[in-house]
């Protein structure tokens, strides 16, 4: 749209200028003629007067001759001026046409204009030659600027790629592709130097077929043009007209190989090699561009390797810090556990002292009171009274003995010196013997034994199993009302391959809160029942857990408030590694 608007305007301006010149010429010609007639007449009349012919005395024929001479001279001058004017006008029009043509081409951006040579060496011919020389110079300058702009665009693209990413493969591919596009060459490759195996390995390529890639994938130093450039550390060129076999894959091409070197240290990183089968010798611009791109690629490799080293160092530091943190966390955990154990031990020690001192006080007071009474009044006491006091002393002594035995047993369990002697035995016989003994001790309760036969042999310490069952029966009797049932059950869990023994009572039951701690040392439940027998130091269930775990079993409780509790434990039916003859 802009071209269509400017074209009529330019045509109008051109023709207006041409007609303006013509009109000015005609006006000048008319003015000249008007001024010329009196001047010529004046000159001729003066000539006659000087010759002795006064103007007033001239005969008619002389007057006519004078007028004819003036007109002849005027017409001759007018004709000459007219011819000369039109010649000048024609020349000016020719120059104007040339000027307009140059202006039009220049305005449209077409600087590669070339005028047809003028046949004569006149002003027009010299002008045409000057314009043609200027046009050629402008065209060369435009081509040079275009080439330089293309090179700068390529360098800018490569620089952007280098600065934007640490992905070397992307840098290699982009740099090689844009380089070949800019210089107009067909093939190229980038090699990386592997110091471990002393080889240059191809990491990017363009325009190479599989056979050439296979032959030129790796090269040694000083073996090919690529290797020689790497070894010598300088740019090398091989011309296709004088093949030496050093080109990539033995191709008959013109090849340039530029080593990629670190700026500080001048260490070899790789080689940039490009080639062409139609270029005889690369231009200075091509060499300059390739050298600049090689520096950029080397900088990218150096930056990526530095980033990799920093990343590896950071990862190593992170691993060290993580390891130290884990060690510190483990140490803190161990210290925390040790502190908790120490606090627990201190708490247990305080609880032990409190419990033992409290529990020892009652039997000792009874023993002390009875012995003092016997010592002071044994002569006044009847035989029945003496027997009763001695029986009280005996019972309290048994309680002390049981209490001390429990403390020693718990100490052996916690100290890892509890000895068990496992062997195969009949569990039903042990349960029957234990229940019969309990019936004698707990006459106020009803005891029942329910064994689901057949039972396989149990592997464990029969004496310790009897101790576990007896402790559970004692605990049930202690926390259940008189006249209630205590049932001992046994069955074989075929699925898990173990024996399950349970002791059920009909007591008040245990809340969930207490069930979590029921097997802890010195833990006792406050019972508000009047018939709750709260003697003991709270080690019975803890000892049961230690003995069961020593057999490789487990112990648990199920209870409902107001209904009763069931304590169960498992025993192995075959020899397993967890059942040890000694715990150490």
Name the more confident of 91 and 199: 199
Q: Residue 439: is its pLDDT beyond 90?
A: yes
The owner of tokens 């000027």 is 99
Q: What is the pLDDT of residues 553-579, one digit of tens each?
A: 999 999 998 889 999 999 988 665 555
pLDDT of residue 447: 94
Q: How confident is the model at residue 581 (pLDDT cuts 50, 70, 90)?
A: very low
Question: Lowest-pLDDT range, 39-53, 61-75, 113-127?
Answer: 113-127
Average pLDDT over residues 31-36: 67
Question: What is the pLDDT at residue 387?
Answer: 82
32 touches 111 (CB < 8 A): no
Q: Which of 81, 84, 71 is nearest to 31 (CA)?
A: 81
* pLDDT, tens digit, 9 for 90 and up, residues 218-244: 888 877 888 888 888 888 888 876 656
Q: Is the pLDDT of residue 582 over 60?
A: no
pLDDT in the model for residue 500: 94
Poorest-confidence range of 121-135, 308-322, 334-348, 454-468? 121-135
Sign of CA dihedral 120, 123, 129, 132: negative
Measure the CA–CA gap between 508 and 519, rounded to whole angstroms. Answer: 18
Q: How confident is the model at residue 277 (pLDDT cuts 50, 70, 90)?
A: confident
Please say if the pLDDT value at position 454 is more than 80: yes
Q: Taking 60 as the threshold, does the pLDDT of residue 9 lie above it?
A: no
- Residues pairing with 582 in the sheet: 419
Question: Of the ranges 178-192, 260-274, 366-380, 463-477, which one carries the lowest mean pLDDT score?
Answer: 366-380
Look at the chain and count its residues.
584
With residue 274 as reference, give the H or E element that holds it: strand 268-276
DSSP secondary structure letter of residue 117 = P
Residue 182, pLDDT > 80, answer no
DSSP state of 582: B
- Of 217-221, 384-388, 469-473, the one with minimum mean pLDDT is 384-388
Contact 522, 352 (CB under 8 A): yes
Question: What are the residue boundaries of the structural domains of the chain, listed by start?
Answer: 2-110, 166-307, 416-572
Yes or no: is domain 416-572 CATH 3.40.50.740?
Answer: no
Q: Does residue 119 carry a pLDDT above 70? A: no
Helix (H, G, I), strand (E, B) or coil at 447: strand
Does the pLDDT at position 473 exceed 60?
Answer: yes
In this predicted structure, the answer to whether residue 91 has a pLDDT above a threshold of 70 is no
pLDDT tens-digit map of 505-519:
998 888 888 888 888
User: Which residues are registered as beta bridge partners of 450?
Assistant: 489
Residue 30 pLDDT > 80, yes or no?
no
Helix 383-415 to helix 540-550 angle (10° resolution) is 50
**Predicted local confidence at residue 531, as pLDDT:** 43
Could you tell me the maximum CA-CA distance found in the chain, to the nearest angstrom?
A: 218
Q: Would you say the C-alpha torsion 43, 49, 54, 60 has a positive or negative sign?
A: negative
If you search the block for the tokens 């001695």, which residue do you land on?
A: 390
**What pLDDT sits at residue 584?**
39
pLDDT confidence of residue 2:
42
Contact between residue 244 and residue 238 where contact means Cβ atoms under 8 Å apart:
yes
pLDDT of residue 406: 64
Let me know: does 336 contact 299? Beta carbons within 8 Å: no
Q: What is the pLDDT of residues 538-548, one digit of tens each?
A: 778 888 888 89
Q: Across residues 86-100, what is the average pLDDT?
A: 64
Percent of the chain with pLDDT over 90: 13
Question: Is residue 208 pLDDT above 70, yes or no?
Answer: yes
Say yes or no to pLDDT of 211 above 90: no
d(CA 293, CA 288): 9
The pLDDT, as a whole number, for residue 111 is 53
Q: Is residue 583 very low, low, confident or very high in pLDDT (cuts 50, 70, 90)? A: very low
Reported confidence tier of residue 380, pLDDT bands at 50, 70, 90: confident
Measured between its terminal Cα atoms, the distance across the chain in Å is: 104
Q: What is the chain's mean pLDDT, rounded? A: 76
DSSP letter for each residue of 485-521 = EEEEEEEEETTTTEEEEEEE--SS---HHHHTTTTST
HSE, side-chain direction, 13 A CA sphere, residue 311 = 7
pLDDT at site 48 = 63
Alpha helices in 165-188 (DSSP H): 168-183
CATH topology of domain 166-307: Beta-Lactamase (3.30.450)
Cα dihedral 373→375→376→380 (10° resolution):
80
Closest CA to 499 of 579, 555, 569: 569
Question: Would the pLDDT of 115 be above 60?
Answer: no
448 or 254, higher pLDDT: 448
Is the pTM here over 0.85, yes or no? no
Tell me how far apart the alpha carbons of residues 11 and 38 are, in angstroms, rounded to a whole number. 42
Backbone angles phi, psi at 492, to 5 degrees: -105, 120
């Amino acid at each position: 749209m802009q071209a269509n608007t400017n074209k009529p305007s330019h045509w109008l301006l051109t023709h207006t200028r041409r007609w303006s010149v013509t009109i000015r010429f005609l006006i000048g010609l008319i003015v000249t003629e008007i001024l010329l007639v009196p001047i010529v007449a004046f000159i001729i009349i003066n000539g006659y007067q000087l010759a002795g012919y006064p103007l007033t005395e001239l005969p008619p024929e002389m007057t006519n001759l004078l007028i004819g001479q003036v007109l002849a001279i005027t017409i001759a001058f007018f004709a000459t001026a007219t011819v000369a004017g039109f010649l000048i006008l024609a020349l000016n029009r020719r120059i104007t046409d040339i000027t307009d043509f140059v202006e039009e081409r220049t305005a449209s951006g077409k600087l590669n204009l070339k005028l047809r040579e003028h046949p004569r060496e006149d002003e027009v011919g010299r002008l045409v030659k000057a314009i043609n020389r200027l046009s050629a110079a402008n065209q060369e300058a435009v081509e040079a600027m275009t080439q330089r702009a293309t090179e700068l665009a390529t360098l800018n693209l490569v620089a952007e790629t280098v600065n934007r990413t640490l992905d070397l493969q992307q840098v290699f591919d982009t740099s090689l592709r844009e380089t070949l596009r800019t210089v107009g060459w067909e093939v190229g490759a980038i090699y990386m130097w592997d110091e471990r195996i002393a080889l240059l390995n191809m990491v990017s390529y363009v325009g190479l077929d599989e056979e050439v890639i296979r032959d030129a994938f790796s090269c040694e130093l000083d073996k090919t043009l690529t290797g020689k450039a790497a070894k010598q550390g300088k740019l090398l060129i091989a011309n296709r007209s004088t093949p030496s076999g050093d080109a990539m894959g033995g191709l008959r091409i013109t090849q340039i190989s530029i080593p990629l070197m670190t700026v500080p240290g001048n260490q070899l990183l790789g080689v940039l090699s490009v080639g062409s089968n139609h270029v005889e010798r690369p231009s200075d611009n091509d060499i300059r561009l390739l050298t600049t791109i090689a520096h950029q690629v080397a900088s990218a490799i150096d930056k990526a390797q530095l980033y990799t080293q920093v990343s590896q160092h950071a990862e190593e530091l992170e691993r060290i810090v993580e390891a130290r943190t884990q060690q510190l966390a483990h140490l803190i955990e161990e210290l925390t556990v040790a502190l908790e154990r120490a606090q627990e031990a201190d708490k247990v020690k305080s609880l032990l002292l409190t419990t033992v001192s409290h529990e020892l006080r009652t039997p000792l007071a009874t023993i002390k009171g009875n012995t003092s009474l016997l010592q002071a009044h044994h002569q006044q006491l009847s035989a029945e009274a003496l027997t009763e006091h001695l029986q009280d002393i005996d019972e309290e002594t048994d309680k002390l003995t049981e209490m001390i035995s429990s403390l020693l047993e718990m100490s052996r369990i916690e100290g890892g010196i509890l000895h068990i002697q496992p062997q195969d035995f009949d569990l039903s016989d042990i349960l029957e013997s234990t229940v019969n003994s309990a019936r004698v001790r707990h006459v106020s309760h009803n005891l029942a034994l329910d064994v689901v036969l057949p039972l396989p042999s149990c592997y464990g310490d029969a004496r310790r199993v009897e101790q576990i069952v007896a402790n559970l029966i004692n605990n049930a009797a202690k926390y259940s009302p008189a006249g209630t049932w205590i049932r001992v059950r046994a069955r074989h869990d075929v699925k898990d391959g173990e024996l399950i023994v349970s002791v059920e009572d009909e007591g008040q039951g245990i809340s969930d809160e207490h069930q979590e701690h029921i097997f802890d040392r010195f833990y006792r439940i406050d019972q508000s029942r009047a018939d709750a027998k709260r003697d003991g130091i709270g080690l019975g269930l803890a000892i049961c857990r230690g003995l069961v775990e020593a057999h490789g079993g487990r112990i648990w409780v199920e209870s409902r408030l107001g209904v009763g509790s069931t304590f169960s434990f498992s025993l192995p039916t075959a020899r397993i590694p967890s059942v040890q003859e000694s715990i150490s």
